Amino acid sequence: MPRRRWLSAVVLAVLLGSVLADLFHPTPAAAHDATTTAHAEVTGTGANVKVVLDLEYDLLMKSAWLYAEAYEAKERTEQLRQLTINRDAVTDYVTRRFAVAYDDKPCSPATVGDADVRPRGKAAYAVLTLTYTCQGGSGGVHAISSALFPDAESFVHSTKTMVGYDLDGEKGSALLNAESPTLRVGERPASRQVWEFFLLGAEHLAFGLDHVLFLLALLIGARRLRDVVITASAFTAAHSITFLLAAMGVVDVPGEIVEPVIAASIIVVALANLLGRDEDRLGKWRLPIVFAFGLIHGLGFAGALDIDESGSWELLLSLLSFNLGIEVTQLMIIAVLFPLLVLVRRTSAARWAVVALSVPIVGVSLYWFFERIPMPL
């Protein structure tokens, strides 16, 4: 592509990114037009159970029917202040929507500890600690139920609650949703756990537009089947390594770093498509570039689970199932998109098709990059 043309394409991408930043910056009222995942860590024995809940902050404050001053708070200090001020309303909402039982008898939430706020991926999450007191003798069975953020509240849909538990010597994890809202500890087969986390991994990739655009940008620049095989293999190996290490607590990189770098990775690959020659647009750098950015994307995948227990190998089955869901969905996307791109390359509009596809990717990714950079306090 002549110098003037690719320069124009880059300028157009930058302008598009700025326009998107102005037009599509999500307001709090519109930011939950999709879904969310609540996280619960449940530990204890017999009569005493501790629950640590991670719930998306602004969604929690809306669901508790608080004012805009509460759910629009952006700075961590103000979010903590709002959680303190509205402690009773938040506690009432959570204890009505999340329950623990022992031998089919409801446990009472005896105390609620001080709330905290921490980032998870692109959002701030409120961290709530509850202590439940259960009635009954030893040898009973605990049950965990979640109806957090149901469709009826209209803020989100298809909410899942990811539960990690260590109760009475039983360790494991499960996903609760509207169709299956209750977990009876020790009664859920491993096959169901595998399927639940496989679907979660598939959904995370399919609905994670940044990961999909990264794959698309790579495919645009890969002109041969050999390039696709190398790309898919390098990306899979890299993100599997960091995903497992991060999810197991061996590696810990803050989301404030990971998320902007993921956006930057898309920009780099899409720009390579605009600036490169007609042959392989990443050339000899394809393998190291894809592998390096795959490592970063693996950290982003791990953020969807955010399992904090270092060395909790009891959760390995869930992690592998989640990763398998990502891999299968990735292969399906490649199987659909690459043949279509091959057909486009055989037309006279092949060069313009590269520009038409790459410019919007650069524009959207620039918007994401600047949106994800944490603002200084």
Q: What is the pLDDT of residue 283?
A: 62
Residues 266, 217 contacting (CB under 8 angstroms):
yes
* Cβ-based neighbours of 267, under 8 Å, separated by 6 or more: 362, 365, 366, 369
Nearest to 184 by CA among 159, 169, 160, 167: 167
Q: What is the pLDDT of residue 71?
A: 87
pLDDT in tens, 287-301: 888 899 989 988 888
Q: What is the pLDDT of residue 186?
A: 72
Q: What is the pLDDT of residue 88?
A: 92
Rounded Cα gap, residues 282 and 190, in angstroms:
43
pLDDT in tens, 87-131: 999 999 999 999 999 988 999 987 778 899 998 867 889 999 999
Q: What is the pLDDT of residue 19?
A: 46
What's the whole-model pTM score? 0.70
Q: What is the pLDDT of residue 139?
A: 77
Q: What is the pLDDT of residue 28?
A: 38
Q: What's the 3-state SS for the chain?
A: CCHHHHHHHHHHHHHHHHHHHHHCCCCCCCCCCCCCEEEEEEEEECCEEEEEEEEEHHHHHHHCCCCHHHHCCCCHHHHHHHHHHCHHHHHHHHHHHEEEEECCEECEEEEECCCEEEEECCEEEEEEEEEEECCCCCCCCEEEEECCCCHHHCCCCCCEEEEEEEECCEEEEEEECCCCCEEECCCCCHHHHHHHHHHHHHHHHHCCHHHHHHHHHHHHHCCCHHHHHHHHHHHHHHHHHHHHHHHCCCCCCCHHHHHHHHHHHHHHHHHHHHHCCCCCCCHHHHHHHHHHHHHHHHHHHHHHHCCCCCCCHHHHHHHHHHHHHHHHHHHHHHHHHHHHHHHHHCCCCHHHHHHHHHHHHHHHHHHHHHHHCCCCC
Q: What is the pLDDT of residue 68?
A: 87
Rounded Cα gap, residues 271 and 359, in angstroms:
8
Q: What is the pLDDT of residue 97?
A: 95
Q: 350 is written with which tokens?
A: 């092949």
Ranges of the chain with pLDDT below 50: 1, 6, 9-11, 13, 15-16, 18-33, 310-311, 377
